[in-house]
Amino acid sequence: MNHKFEINQEKCTKCSLCIDNCPTKALSKDENEYPIMKNSFACMECQHCLAICPNKAVSIMGKNPEDSSEIKEINSDDILNLIQSRRSIRKYKQINVSKDTIQKLKDMLNYVPTGKNNHKLHFSFIEDIEVMNDFRKKTYSSLINFLNHKPIKFLSEKFKKFIKQKEAILNGEDIIFRTAPHLVVVNAPINSSCPNQDGIIALSYFELYAHSLKLGTCWCGYAHAILKMFPHLCEYLQVPEGYQPIYVMLFGYPDIKYQRTTQPNPYSFTTIEKHEIESNFLNKFKRILWNFLR
């Protein structure tokens, strides 16, 4: 396996930072103390070696360190305010987000982390409000057709919210997409080691970056449930073969402006200190049950 690991010996100072930082121990030293790719099968293509070299001496997979961005100092207070001021937006302006802004969002998604550095996520974007309205129309048509027939028992529970709001849907209320002009669906290969986690992490990054670009977003569980149940809508969104939709996020220019952060009730926190583990069979059984319950 050729990862095109290359060292510019004129720049390399033999500091070994790339070797020491390699998470899979794929790198070692040659007879002249320069880094080499000793075990190419161990390389997970994380590019840590390229990123850590202080002299831009390392290239891998054809990536030139000169093409990477320098890491800047970040104001932690600004990041905290971005997180604190994030809100789920359910009112949107009926205009398209600019192509340049959407491209920025797409470019950012290339940097989201995945389990085992498995960069095989796929993102389905609806970038035009006319396409979104067409998808919206097809979605509600499928849903109404479904609700007009008595669903089998296990689906009745899954769709109880839609059943309760059938009248609102018939009256044209957009209870699923909240008038959003755009959406993005993150899809993951069915054989991924952690597809759900990868997808949610990606959309979490997407949400915060979108907020920094003055866009509104909303996690859309309704749309996710619809995609799971109506495969022809996955076809509309061109979800690749062998992939499953992980979650849906709505986005667009917000038609509402919040003036301040909220004051959430705090979660619970535990500071762990050194102690002995005392657990009987019943407690172990309950813990296993809790760990695997949805």
pLDDT bin (cut points 50, 70, 90) of residue 167 is confident
What percentage of the chain carries pLDDT values higher than 90?
83
Q: Phi then psi for 171, rounded to 5 degrees?
A: -85, 5
Bridge partners of 88?
A: 217
Asked if 246 contacts 186 with a C-beta cutoff of 8 angstroms, the reply is yes
Q: What DSSP character marks residue 65? A: G
Lowest mean pLDDT among 26-35, 102-111, 282-291: 282-291
Residue 279 exposed, middle or buried by CB count within 10 Å (0-12, 13-18, 19+): exposed
Model confidence at 7: pLDDT above 70: yes
Token representation of residue 165: 């709001």
Report d(CA 56, CA 62) in Å as an integer. 14
Lowest mean pLDDT, pick from 6-20, 52-66, 79-93, 267-281: 267-281
**Cβ atoms of residues 142 and 233 within 8 Å:** yes
Count of alpha carbons within 13 angstroms of residue 44, beta-carbon side: 14
The pLDDT tens digits for 183-199 are 999 999 999 999 999 99
Tens digit of each residue's pLDDT (9 = 90 or more) over 25-81: 999 999 999 999 999 999 999 999 999 999 999 999 999 999 999 999 999 999 999
Query: Can you give the pLDDT at residue 80?
Result: 97
Nearest residue to 49 (alpha-carbon basis) of 6, 111, 107? 6
